[in-house]
Amino acid sequence: MQLLGCIERGSTLGNHYNDMTIKKVAFMTEIKIRKVEEKDFLRIIKFTDNCAPIPKERNSIYHCLTRFFANTCFVAERKGNIIGHILGWVSQVNDRVAYVHNICIMPEERRHKLATKLYDRFIQAVKEIGCDQIYLIANAKNDTSINFHRSLGFEPTIEGEKIMINGVETIKDYNGPGEHMVLMRKDLS
Ligand SMILES: CC(C)(COP(=O)(O)OP(=O)(O)OC[C@H]1O[C@@H](n2cnc3c(N)ncnc32)[C@H](O)[C@@H]1OP(=O)(O)O)[C@@H](O)C(=O)NCCC(=O)NCCS
């Protein structure tokens, strides 16, 4: 908040920033990113109304994540309201591998690098645990997700039978018959 005040008063520092930068600084200074707590799960369930095209899970999954996977799940809050989340975990069969199950930002809060900040927090946490790679799956038709993850350095990777959907390398039947998915991977080392 100090920095924002300084810029708004037209200080020397402020002269180097345009209006867009000032808005972005203002946007981020009001936001807190923190680990989830078990008691968040009801609010997270409500928040997922904003996450289309990502399907909602059974409610119990969100309770399970906030209770048993809280070291690798984060929320972004503004004035106590959840405006974004990243939910993931570390593999039980390879503790160098992390998996992001879901990332979502409130529609009116998008394109301000908030999801990028949530990923920064997630990556910091899983690196401390010892991970050196992250996976996620995305629907090939979800251009936003594919573009966003590419911007972070994720790339599609193929295991099994490859098919092209929407110009993206996709794994046939990855999530079950007819549910072809893009498996994306990023190396952290
Ligand atoms: C995908 C999602 C999480 C991105 O959140 P966000 O906070 O808007 O993302 P960021 O602002 O950090 O975007 C970083 C970069 O990703 C890319 N990107 C993000 N949204 C994009 C879009 N709609 N179209 C094209 N590129 C996009 C851009 O390169 C962007 O950088 P730029 O704004 O400087 O161009 C958000 O759109 C969302 O919640 N979507 C619905 C849920 C979903 O599909 N989640 C993905 C699950 S696999």
pLDDT greater at residue 4 or residue 77: 77
Residue 161 domain flag = yes
**Residues with C-beta less than 6 Å from any ligand 1 atom:** 51, 53-54, 102-105, 110-116, 136, 138, 142, 144-145, 147-148, 151
Q: Which amino acid is at 17?
A: Y
152 alpha-carbon distance from chain centroid = 10
Residue 145 domain flag = yes
> What per-residue confidence (pLDDT) applies to 1?
30
Q: How far is the CA of 113 from the centre of ligand 1 (A)?
A: 8
Residue 12 domain flag = no
Report the nearest atom of ligand 1 relative to the CA of 104.
39
Residue 143 domain flag = yes
- C-alpha 31/C-alpha 165 separation (Å) is 37
pLDDT band for 2, please (50, 70, 90 cuts): very low
Residues 126-172: tens digit of each pLDDT: 999 999 999 999 999 999 999 999 999 999 999 999 999 999 999 99
Tokens of 126: 């899983």
Residue 10 domain flag = no
Residue 22 domain flag = no
Report the nearest atom of ligand 1 relative to the CA of 112.
11
- C-alpha 47/C-alpha 81 separation (Å) is 9
**Domains contained in the chain, number:** 1
Residue 70 lies in domain: 33-187
**CATH number of the domain within which 62 lies:** 3.40.630.30
Name the packing angle between helices 19-29 and 114-129 (round to 10°): 50
Q: Which residues of 87-126 are buried (b: 16+ CB within 10 A; e: fewer)?
A: bbbbeeeeeebbbbbbbbbbeebeebebbebbbebbbebb
> What per-residue confidence (pLDDT) applies to 165?
98
pLDDT band for 11, please (50, 70, 90 cuts): very low
- Protein residue closest via CA to atom 10 of ligand 1: 113
18 pLDDT exceeds 80? no
Q: How far is the CA of 28 from the centre of ligand 1 (A)?
A: 16
Residue 28 domain flag = no
Q: How far is the CA of 166 from the centre of ligand 1 (A)?
A: 18
Residue 4 domain flag = no
3 pLDDT exceeds 60? no
Global pTM reads 0.89
Report the nearest atom of ligand 1 relative to the CA of 106.
39
176 pLDDT exceeds 80? yes
Mean pLDDT confidence for 67-86? 97
